[in-house]
Structure 1
Amino acid sequence: MPPLFNPRLVNDPAGDPGLFVPFFYEKRALLIDTGDLSALSARDILKITHVFITHTHMDHFIGFDRILRICLGRNKVLHTFGPEGFIEKMAARLSAYTWNLVENYQNPLRITATEIRKNELVSCIFDCSSRFVPQDYATRHLQSRTIHAEPAFSVDAAILDHDIACMGYAIKERFSVNIRREILQEMGFAPGPWLYAFKQALYAESDPESLFEIPRQYAPKNAQTRFSIGELTDRLAVVTKGHKIAYITDAAGHEQNTEKIISLAMDADHLFIEAAFLDEDRNLARRKKHLTAAAAGRIAARAGARRFTLFHFSPRYSENRDRVEQEARKAWKTAGTGEPFNRFPSR
């Protein structure tokens, strides 16, 4: 069975940063950064439940208006996160529009905005029916890097330096449920969304004696379709370590940032990491507070990432992207072992 989510870059590696994280077998997705989102369909955007903003530079935040426009008039709660000052930025964004008729909408959109500070999370609500005036402020002490948690997965964050606070994020399954395909075949059941529902029951720590019913359309004629969770787990499931993805962009390449990134991305199955400049332009990278391709490769190796994908290339390398990728690959090989490199991932 595949992992819970299936991440992909929103744009070409030289385009605006953004990571779309749809869930398998569920009409749901997470999104990290909202640059140019024209590559995402309205259907994709309507799946989004949580948006994680690294910082509010234009190329990371300009696409939020597209989300707002598509979700407006729908009965939806959109959860957003960003660095300290994010609530003020969100309020300014929403107050730029006139909302004199929205209180009449039958389906009001609600946006929760949470800013991530060193030791606390500060949240408020922007409700369509109240013309998106911020209300219901709340503060929660932050005891770990985890800023959001559900039964199936959690999201961790680290505050990085880009001359301003810039967030790095990691998303991790609690555990992964692998289905014994040969046993499934022996039992005569066809795979389908019911396997996802079964996995959710395990995440929710359902009573092993509780019953789980496999929909009749996936079962052989006259076959038993009701099993206890415990029996079905013993027969079908192999529980292993959960899948982890990490996303790093717009981070100065100094040691303090590097150590924070490595800690956040440690043992990631897939690390998405910026490679804004070549090492020959490292002085420019230093001034602009970005990572070089060589730094990205070394970080991926030191974090033990099983696979990494580069993005956020400077336009100056539009004619020789191979050099960016080759530099990262060389740095990886020097610092570690293996071939986790993912070349030009398809959208």
Structure 2
Amino acid sequence: MSSRELVVLGTSSAVPTRSRNHNGYLLRWDGFGVLFDPGEGTQRQMVRAGVSAHDVNAICLTHFHGDHCLGVPGVVQRIARDRVEHAVSAVFPRSGAEYWRRLRHATLFNDTRVIVERPVGGDVQEVAVDGAPFTVTARRLCHSVESYGYRIEEPGGVTMLPDRLAAYGLAGPLVGRLQREGRVTAPGGRTVTLEECSVPRPGQKVAFVMDTRLCEAIKPLAGGADLLVIESTFLDADAALAEEYGHLTARQAGRVAADAGVRRLVLTHFSERYGAEDEPRFAEEAAAAYAGDIVMARDLVRVPMPSRHRPGTASRP
């Protein structure tokens, strides 16, 4: 059974709290798993969330601050210990290759050969991720160190219209042939095209935007995303601190989502300076700029991808 969801493993920024672990996000996509920014404690959070090393097909790091990468040693060693056999792509900023090496080989263990390093550099780069059913694009953000955001996008397809197929007498192998070849001869002798029996189905898109100030790279990452996972480290009252340290406020995250036409917004990476009583304010400030679906990320929750159905695209007259 196909499943597309975000498993949230941690939601704190630089300092974990009693209720929030360091970062960690597993995007599950029809059996393919991308682990973003595994911070300290991610291996244990995976156990608590009911996911295993076998669920990880790629590890993507935005940058090498500790709250985004100190979980790498435990995750890599668990991949080796559990004898994961499939390739695991490791995507990280090329400029931090020395930090990756230290994390990758932090302690003695029976090493694994399945890790495939895919360093990224420059302003924008399409990343080869072994076995992925989608493309992965990295864009450089604006933080105090080199940092990248990621966009995941599957190819578009079509949705077949059963009433149109029935009207032309198409069923079984003829439908498969129509999908493969784009046209087929119906039982009555008429040539039927794929366009006559289907409507376009856009591929789903996910954007992952961590530590950054507002910058030009964010919009192409987030544009039209079904799911945007984005840092909202500060509240608006602390906007000056956000700018100083290279972060976003909740209101800015909401504005990004609105400008980019995002379908579901996931706020995360909250500063430890805020208590539980402050949490509703993050969603309120984001909602002041964005009228769509807002999710306040919490450790161990699962956030489903929005339905493929978009108003006005489910059927054709």
Q: What TM-score does the superposition give when structure 1 sets the normalisation length?
A: 0.67
Paired residues for 1:197-276 under 5 Å: 239-253=200-214, 257=215, 259-276=216-233
String of CA shifts for 1:239-275, please: whole Å, max 9, x gaps: 401111101111023xxx2x21012111111111111
CA distance in 2, matches of 1:311, 1:60: 13
Residue 28 (structure 1) aligned with residue 32 (structure 2): yes
* 49 and 79 in structure 1: CA distance in 2 versus 1, 3 angstrom threshold: same
Paired residues for 1:27-106 under 5 Å: 27-35=31-39, 36-37=41-42, 38-41=44-47, 43-72=51-80, 73-98=83-108
Q: Which runs of no fewer than 5 residues in structure 1 stay unpaired?
A: 103-107, 120-143, 185-197, 210-230, 333-337
Q: Structure 1 residue 180: deviation in Å?
A: 6.0
Q: What SS is found at the alignment partner of 1:6?
A: strand
Paired residues for 1:1-347 under 5 Å: 5-12=4-11, 14-24=20-30, 27-35=31-39, 36-37=41-42, 38-41=44-47, 43-72=51-80, 73-98=83-108, 108-118=112-122, 145-148=125-128, 152-176=133-157, 178=159, 239-253=200-214, 257=215, 259-319=216-276, 320-332=278-290, 338-344=291-297, 346-347=301-302
* 91 and 344 in structure 1: CA distance in 2 versus 1, 3 angstrom threshold: closer
Amino acid at match of 2:217: K
CA contact (8 A) 1:308 1:342 kept: yes
Aligned alpha-carbon RMSD (Å):
3.6
* 284 and 166 in structure 1: CA distance in 2 versus 1, 3 angstrom threshold: same
CA distance in 1, matches of 2:45, 2:274: 22
CA distance in 2, matches of 1:96, 1:15: 21
Q: What TM-score does the superposition give when structure 2 sets the normalisation length?
A: 0.73
String of CA shifts for 1:129-155, please: whole Å, max 9, x gaps: xxxxxxxxxxxxxxx642236683101
Amino acid at match of 2:121: R
Q: What SS is found at the alignment partner of 1:39?
A: helix
CA distance in 1, matches of 2:196, 2:54: 36
CA distance in 2, matches of 1:174, 1:273: 23
Amino acid at match of 1:152: P
Q: Which runs of no fewer than 5 residues in structure 2 stay unpaired?
A: 13-19, 166-175, 184-191, 303-317
